[in-house]
Amino acid sequence: MPAQTSPAHAAAVRRAVRDGRHDAHTSGLAPGHVQGNLVILPRELAGDFLLFCQRNPKPCPVLAVGDAGDPRLPTLGADLDVRTDVPRYRVWRHGELVEEPTDIRALWRDDLVSFVLGCSFSFEEALLAAGLGVRHIEMQRNVPMYRTNMATVPSGPFRGPMVVSMRPYTAADAIRAVQVTARFPAVHGAPVHLGDPAQIGIADLSRPDYGDAVELHAGEMPVFWACGVTPQAAIEQARPALCITHAPGAMLVTDLLNPQLAAF
């Protein structure tokens, strides 16, 4: 695919997904463009979920909310369709993961509301631009993600642990990473924890709950950011009759540009 940063390039990625030519993770695709986590819920639960996001802005920063029954999100892309433009979805019924399709048009209903939440892929570009390596990109893997002992603030039936993503850095680079990512609160912002993973309930970094493990080199510490997979843990607790999300790492590519989300 072309390397330029333009709405046309983002649309080309979505078309490749829509046509079945790409069904894997989206890290590194459409450089410069915002990618989003997707949650689709029945209208009767949409208000509680929106409040859950507002109460937990670090893991659940809201980029867009659709109208009930409308699969389009015009503020994120003129041709965007949430039913077809995510490489792989997760379908949850009563809190249980039942399938991972690549197209959800057969499941679409007039009462479904789409939420798109900020994704760490955006601040990773800022890290790379600052000369800070991103290990899972170097290893061509999906980012490692872990459930923690840090509880989210509940709303209605939605509650559960915060999920975090991890990138290893030396102490000096970790300080710089905090400075860089703090500029992007709409895509998780600064880290929530540095150092000892046991302090946040992670027993083994080599066994992530989602994504792929990465190497830690001598002199490095794990640095943890709030992660947009957190809603999936809350959905397991809420047990809605139907919920649809993205599969971890398989994001919705938008026409928004990452610099548009910088706070300062």
Region 81-101: mean pLDDT is 96
Nearest to 254 by CA among 114, 112, 120, 73: 73
pLDDT score at 253: 95
Does domain 7-119+235-254 fall under CATH 3.40.50.300? My reply is: no
Give yes or no for a contact between 95 and 158, defined as CB atoms under 8 angstroms apart.
no
Q: Is the overall model pTM greater than 0.85, yes or no?
A: yes
Q: Tell me what the mean pLDDT of segment 120-132 comes to.
A: 91
The per-residue pLDDT for 3 is 41
Residue 264 banded pLDDT, cuts 50, 70, 90: low
Q: How far is CA 4 from CA 7, 81, 128, in A?
A: 10, 22, 17
Indicate whether 237 pLDDT > 50: yes
CATH topology classification for 121-230: PSTPO5379-like fold (3.30.2040)
Structure confidence at residue 195 (pLDDT): 97
**What are the domain boundaries of the chain?**
7-119+235-254, 121-230
Domains 7-119+235-254 and 121-230 share a fold: no
Residue 4 has pLDDT above 60, yes or no: no
